[in-house]
Chain A
Amino acid sequence: MQQAASRPLMRKPKRNRTEFWMLLPSIVVLAAISIFPFFFMVYASFMDYSLDMDRPRFAGFGNWADTLTDTAFWQSWGRTLVYAGGGLLAQLVFGCAIALLLYHIPRFRNLFSTLFMLPLFVAPIVTGLLWRFLLDPTYGLYHWVLNTFGLDIQVLGDPSYAMFAVIMMDVWEWTPLITIIVLAGLQTVPEEPLEAADVDGANSWQKIRYILLPMVRRMIVVALLVRSMDILRYVDTIVITTEGGPADATKTIGYYLMQVAFRFQDIGGAASVGLTMLLASILMGRFFIKVLRSEEA
């Protein structure tokens, strides 16, 4: 151990030399396309920088001050919380419920779970376009369904429903992710505790509550973490359906960033916004790794 501590890079240099050289190209490429841009973004956040400018000027904490005192920035983060929180909660509930359904049905489990996971493969841009079609006030199938129930709502054009609609799109596309992860967990739950519970006269609900759900807790946490990082990642559905509107009702932080950067061409400001997003996803990534390691040990 003592000896290993004095070596800078590798614990067992001789044995691992080949592995090191095999990993190196990836590290170099990844550094070039992730670390370098990251520092570039940090640099840009301190510069007065716009797309048509030859030479950015040093701005000190100007961009940061502007961003952090901008109510639109905080409102966008607020909407992101609603979007992520609402979406994740719905996905969690539906995802687990459907996984439990699949777990309990005696036949066609594989067929049903395969069919149910199809939305996962749909490109988010297509999801947006498709839902826009379904909700279209003139031609939309779902608008027609709502209409027959007496609800004549222009879902995407109404600030009070638009957020709900984009959340539903995310729920439609990604609930299956939670379902298949939780189902995979359920299928590894051993028989013995369930049989023991049967002997003790437990009903199905008690078995779910006290045996199945606790045993898939780790799966649920993993699924939620992957989803929460992904929900920050994508803005495609919002771009194609509402463009952040109506009246900014669906302007999440990602959309806000795109707007600051490419519509207002304020690169310095956008860089500071981007760094707050990165910070959020890095904190979640840390947590993800921690969960993985804690279960391995």
Chain B
Amino acid sequence: MQHRQKLLHAVLYALMTLSLLWALVPILHMILSSMKTQVNMFEMPPRLFFTPTFDVYQEMFFGRGDFPQFLRNSLVVSVVTTALCLLLGVMGGFGLARGNFRWEKDVSFWVISTRMAPIPAVILPLYLIFSKLNLIGTTTGLVLAYTTFNLPFALWMMSTFFKDVPADLEEAAMIDGCGKFRAFWRVVVPAAAPGIVATAVLCLMFSWNDYLFASIFTGRGTQTVPIAASLLVSQSGIKWGQAMATGTVIIMPMLICGLLVRKYMVRGLSMGAVK
């Protein structure tokens, strides 16, 4: 019996190792390739041990290209969108969680279907409206576009987090003489702080990772890093070294952010359905 148990565990760990290889080899291959010379990069089987070179990165960040500007644009758009959606979403989410409105069900449904609306179907009308308002190619346009999915997300997530904060808490504060809004600000918001941070990180990630909106709504000077990645693909071929380095730069901050809020990841990615 003991023996069989051991064998079973060995099989489980072997399968787990295979799954991890499947998940991680592409990412590792990208990161390693970005640090290889053009010659080493295409060697098969790939070399695992080599002297890393950061030439591609150096060229990207300090060369003649526009990469730093792409990066700055991405950062500005993501941060501004996140701040905006969080401000509205934290207040609105509280309203949604506590409001007990007659049309709460409809609002919830509306919020979730806005969040889940297919991006191509959202882009089209926004494109027409933005071109009338001269917002194509502007940072404002892109921020508004990202708000279409991040605001409903923030509202929805914050309402699930606020539902977890017992209403007694703010009622106690109100008995102590706080107004409702003050009680919310002083007592409820701190209690839901981890949820706010997790929501912020996910909003940041959704904006940072977007390609399709950016491909339609940005122009010269406002393009973001995913666009920089796509521009490396051309008729005459793909600059693989740069592509892998750009990919690495795009995913690194999100890996770190994601790991920081790991505990809330399930909740965020299941739209609050799993706690």
Contact = CB atoms under 8 A, between A and B. Distances in A.
Q: How large is the interface on B (under 10, 10 to 19, 20 to 34, 35 or more residues)?
A: 35 or more
Nearest to A143: B44
Interface in A11-56: 11-12, 15-16, 18-27, 29-30, 33-34, 36-38, 40-41, 44, 51
Contacts of B80: none
Given A9-B102, A119-B27, A223 B270 contact: yes
Interface stretch (B50-58, B60-68, B105-113, B191-199): B105-113
A261 B15 CA distance: 46
Contacts of A29: 88, 147, 151
A103 B240 CA distance: 39
Interface in B77-106: 88-89, 91-92, 94-96, 98-103, 105
A235 to B, nearest CB: 6
B24 A133 contact: no
A30 B109 CA distance: 13
Nearest to A234: B119
Contact of A282 (B29, B113, B128): B113
Interface in B211-238: 211-212, 215-216, 226, 229-230, 232-233, 238
Contacts of B101: 9-11, 16, 20, 23
A203 B109 CA distance: 43
A interface secondary structure, majority: helix
A236 B212 contact: yes
Interface in B165-192: 180-181, 184
Contact of A124 (B113, B121, B209, B240): B209
A197 interface: no
A93 interface: no
Contact of B102 (A10, A40, A234): A10
Contacts of A281: 113, 116-118, 121
A185 B151 contact: no
B91 A172 contact: no
B1 interface: no
B95 A23 contact: yes
A275 interface: yes
Q: How large is the interface on A (under 10, 10 to 19, 20 to 34, 35 or more residues)?
A: 35 or more
Output the residue of B25, B120, B265 with the most chain A CB within 10 A.
B120
A236 B123 CA distance: 13
Contacts of B134: none
B121 A275 contact: yes
Contacts of B208: 123
B262 interface: yes
A134 interface: yes
Contact of B92 (A22, A40, A181, A184): A22
Contacts of A141: 25, 29, 44, 46
Interface in A279-295: 280-282, 284-286, 288-289, 292
A259 B29 CA distance: 33
Nearest to B209: A123
A25 B88 contact: yes
B92 A27 contact: yes
A219 interface: yes
Interface stretch (A57-65, A110-118, A150-158): A110-118
Given A25-B91, A130-B247, A267-B128, A285 B112 contact: yes
Contact of A177 (B124, B210, B269): B269
A278 interface: yes
A258 B265 contact: no
A271 B124 contact: yes
Given A16-B99, A27-B107, A235-B212, A139 B247 contact: no
A118 B19 contact: no
A277 interface: yes
Interface string A2-13: 001001111110
Output the residue of A181, A235, A285 with the most chain B CB within 10 A.
A285
A20 B273 CA distance: 24
Output the residue of A25, A102, A123 with the most chain B CB within 10 A.
A123
Interface string A244-259: 0000000000110110
Nearest to B111: A30
Contacts of A185: 274
Contact of A123 (B12, B131, B250): B250
A9 B103 contact: yes
B95 A285 contact: no
A145 to B, nearest CB: 9
Interface of A: 4, 7-12, 15-16, 18-27, 29-30, 33-34, 36-38, 40-41, 44, 51, 94, 98, 101-102, 104-106, 112, 114-126, 129-134, 136, 138-139, 141, 144, 172, 175-177, 180-181, 184-185, 204, 219, 222-223, 226, 229-230, 232-236, 239-240, 254-255, 257-258, 261-262, 267, 270-271, 274-275, 277-278, 280-282, 284-286, 288-289, 292
Given A123-B229, A172-B26, A232-B118, 14 more contacts: A11-B100, A12-B100, A16-B98, A18-B181, A19-B100, A30-B110, A34-B110, A112-B16, A125-B226, A126-B226, A172-B23, A257-B121, A278-B121, A288-B271
5 contacts: A118-B23, A124-B209, A125-B229, A254-B120, A289-B109
